Amino acid sequence: MSENADIRPATSRFRLPRIDFSGGVGLLILYGVMVFIISRLSPYFLGPRNLVNVPVSVAVIGMIAIFSTMLMISGGLDLSVGATTALVGVIAASLQGTLGVWGAAGLGLLVGVLVGLINGLLVTRVGINPLITTLGMLSVVRGLAFVFSGGLSIAMLDKDFAQLGRGSILGLPIIVVVVVIMFVAAALVMRFTTYGRAMYAIGGNSRASHLAGLPVKRYQMTAYILSGLSAAIAGLFLTSRLGTAAPQASTGLELKVVAAIILGGTSLAGGKGSLFSTLLGVLILGTLDNAMTLLSISSYYQQIALGVILLLAVGLDQLRVGNLSRLLRSRY
């Protein structure tokens, strides 16, 4: 009996992870406790207007985090998403008079796809580390945003375009509805398609996946392209919501995206993750930001809080994969 008990955990490690909505129970409890505490500290938190503001304020992060989760499950990483968001907004605003607002928006989407494609080529074909690749691309893309705009903010005056970020459907903000649609589409892909299931296998062991016949590089390339596309979509919605495009927009957005994803349980090592838990992570970060604003806490402390959350999330990830326990055993 004892031998069989020892064998079962070892064999279960190699089972293909599945997207399980019950995996976010712990985060749901944490979020419920947060809501209770914050509502006691601020009487405005549960007000109807504020309850709408929270999902709207994190919608841009959510758009990017959904497809970045898919990328990180496969073992990838994209830190250029914030800069891509800014560049797409600048391009759409700069060319609205020449191409029309929707033509310029379409070109912005293509730019996002191009950034994702370049990232994918450098990682999968050239073999550069994803962290180095996307950090370098972050600098390049952010610089291009300043070049195209001349360092100035550019107004978007089209009323129809403004409806993307400020309009509503049946009382629900359009930007939130789009996030829900993107989430459902991504969840269906990850749960019911060969591509989605392969993301887990590739993140768990890319070499074994290649030997098993999976087109590892092509699948990873697709994940980077989707990441760039999601950043472009987020850039258009952010520009629409603000009514202006600025080259310095979305600075630090990539850190919030990564923090939300890791907080939701996706491993930096790949092979494990949940889209539902990522959305909970996004909501937790957005609720914390909203609470600190309602409590008149300085934005400087909000930056500190984000850094602490990111460090804690990475630490929890290391505990989950067992690296910390192995390190302690090796030292003691």
Question: How is the chain split into domains, by residue range?
Answer: 50-250
List the beta strands (DSSP E) in the chain: 154-155, 168-169, 172-173, 244-245
> d(Cα 138, Cα 54) in Å, to the nearest integer?
27
CA dihedral 140, 143, 149, 153 (to 10 degrees): 110
Per-residue pLDDT of the chain (332 residues; tens, 9 = 90+): 444 444 444 444 444 444 444 456 777 888 888 889 888 888 888 888 888 888 998 999 999 999 999 999 999 999 999 999 999 999 999 999 889 999 999 999 999 999 999 999 999 999 999 999 999 999 999 999 999 999 999 998 888 899 988 888 888 899 999 999 999 999 999 999 999 999 999 998 989 998 888 999 999 999 999 999 999 999 999 999 999 999 999 988 998 999 899 888 888 888 888 898 899 989 988 898 888 888 888 877 878 887 888 787 777 666 665 554 454 454 44
pTM of the model: 0.84
Residues 6+ apart with CB under 8 A from 147: none
The maximal CA–CA distance of the chain, rounded, in angstroms, is 75
What CA–CA distance (Å, rounded) separates 226 from 63? Answer: 11
Q: Residues 181, 184, 188, 190: is their CA dihedral positive or negative?
A: positive
Residue 161 CB-half CA count within 13 A:
26
Token pair, residue 262, equals: 């890791």
How far, in Å, CA of 91 to CA of 89, rounded? 6
Helix 194-204 with 59-73: angle, nearest 10 deg: 70
